[in-house]
Amino acid sequence: MILKGRDFIDLADFSREEINYLLQLAKELKAKQKAGIPHEILKGKNLAMIFQKSSTRTRVSFEVAMYQLGGLAMFLNKNDLQMGRGEPIEDTARVLARFSDGILIRTFSHQEVLDLARFSSVPVINGLTDDHHPTQVMADLLTIWEHKGTLAGLKIVYAGDGNNVAGSLLYGAALTDMEIVVASPEGYQPDPAVVRKAKKMAGDPEKIAVMSDLHKAVQDADILYTDVWASMGQEDEALKRRKDLEVYQINKEILARAKKDAIVLHCLPAHRGEEITVEVMEGPQSVVFDEAENRLHAHKAILAALL
């Protein structure tokens, strides 16, 4: 399957077959890395990485991924670039595309990624925006597949703020035949347009649901997923968000309502004691750090396929 030259901005831009191909490629590349088999298929390639938001997993995983694939990653924060002094995104896109084989951007506005891709002649990868986090969800899908042996037919419940991760997770579930329920209170639920699109992508709209009752949502769940209640840029709302979302915490009582073999995911960083308890995060059903490691392998697959 040929994905070379494509952008990776939104999971909804890809077919079921393409997502399955990327997951299979990630699994193969992970196996090679674990076996110590060199796979420098991007030797001589380089990736320009624009970061306008702080990062641990996205930055490190993409840097290591490029290194292990034989390429070079260049970290560029907003103070390193003329973008920080007002250079238009279209100029930055065209210049970086002359120097690089691909561009990763982690920023606030989703439109900024779309504009970057419009003017770039090389693939653009969305490392996170306020609307979507597709590279994270590829790692999530890989983790679920590894621990459950399948994706189709599973039920995943996302609890808390219906943020960028929830939006991409809705698309990811729809493309892999999973049932997904997003449990959030009014005012924190995912963008209705994203939900409608996910329902259309799923084929069976009954597989995509949004509700406010977490206790009801987690019945028969195979996977529980949560994220911080106040994302980057929402720090001023932290106190209000904690109050509004406190009943959406993933704790042992909520976990007990899911299937006995349910697994727990969190995209990190975690605010332990808020959206998830220490007991659950450090418990036997947590696969949080497998999920974090799989950022590396999922990102390798994206880079290998696009570049």
What are the distances in angstroms from CA 135 to CA 162, 185, 258? Answer: 17, 26, 27
Q: Kindly tell me the sign of the dihedral angle through the C-alpha atoms of 155, 156, 157, 162.
A: negative
- Given the residues 267, 285, 297, 299, select the one marked as catalytic: 267
Quote the CA–CA distance of 196 and 193 in Å, as a whole number.
5
Q: What is the pLDDT of residue 247?
A: 98
Distance of alpha carbon 227 from its chain centroid, rounded? Answer: 11
Same domain, 153 and 285: yes
DSSP classification of residue 191: P
Same domain, 105 and 178: no
Which amino acid does the sequence have at 31?
A: A
- Given the residues 241, 295, 297, 299, select the one marked as catalytic: 295
Q: Is 227 a catalytic residue?
A: yes
In a domain, 26, yes or no: yes
Same domain, 127 and 169: no
Peptide bond into 269 cis (omega under 30): yes
- Given the residues 52, 68, 101, 106, select the one marked as catalytic: 106
Q: Kindly tell me the sign of the dihedral angle through the C-alpha atoms of 46, 268, 215, 186.
A: negative
In which domain, by residue range, is 143 found? 136-292
Same domain, 284 and 145: yes
Same domain, 142 and 103: no
Quote the CA–CA distance of 73 and 95 in Å, as a whole number.
16
Same domain, 35 and 50: yes
- Given the residues 10, 140, 222, 227, select the one marked as catalytic: 227
Strand positions, DSSP E, the chain? 46-51, 72-77, 102-106, 124-128, 155-159, 179-183, 208-211, 223-226, 263-266
Q: List the chain pLDDT tens, one digit each, 307 residues.
A: 789 999 999 999 999 999 999 999 999 999 999 999 999 999 999 999 999 999 999 999 999 999 999 999 999 998 888 876 789 999 999 999 999 999 999 999 999 999 999 999 999 999 999 999 999 999 999 999 999 999 999 999 999 999 999 999 999 999 999 999 999 999 999 999 999 999 999 999 999 999 999 999 999 999 999 999 987 677 788 899 999 999 999 999 999 999 999 999 999 999 999 999 999 999 999 999 999 999 999 999 999 999 9
In a domain, 102, yes or no: yes
Q: Is 110 a catalytic residue?
A: no
pTM score, whole prediction: 0.97
In a domain, 4, yes or no: no
Same domain, 262 and 299: no
Report the CATH number at residue 250: 3.40.50.1370
- Given the residues 133, 266, 297, 299, select the one marked as catalytic: 133
Same domain, 215 and 103: no
Quote the CA–CA distance of 204 and 190 in Å, as a whole number.
19
**For residue 282, what are its two tokens?**
């450090």
**Main-chain phi, psi angles of 104, to 5 degrees:** -105, 140
- Is residue 21 packed enough to be buried (19+ CB in 10 Å), middle (13-18) or exposed (0-12)? middle
Same domain, 150 and 123: no
Q: What is the pLDDT of residue 232?
A: 67
DSSP classification of residue 102: E
The number of folded domains in the chain is 2
Q: What is the pLDDT of residue 80?
A: 84
Quote the CA–CA distance of 89 and 70 in Å, as a whole number.
29
In a domain, 81, yes or no: yes
Q: Is 267 a catalytic residue?
A: yes
Same domain, 166 and 181: yes
Q: What is the pLDDT of residue 254?
A: 98
Same domain, 54 and 145: no
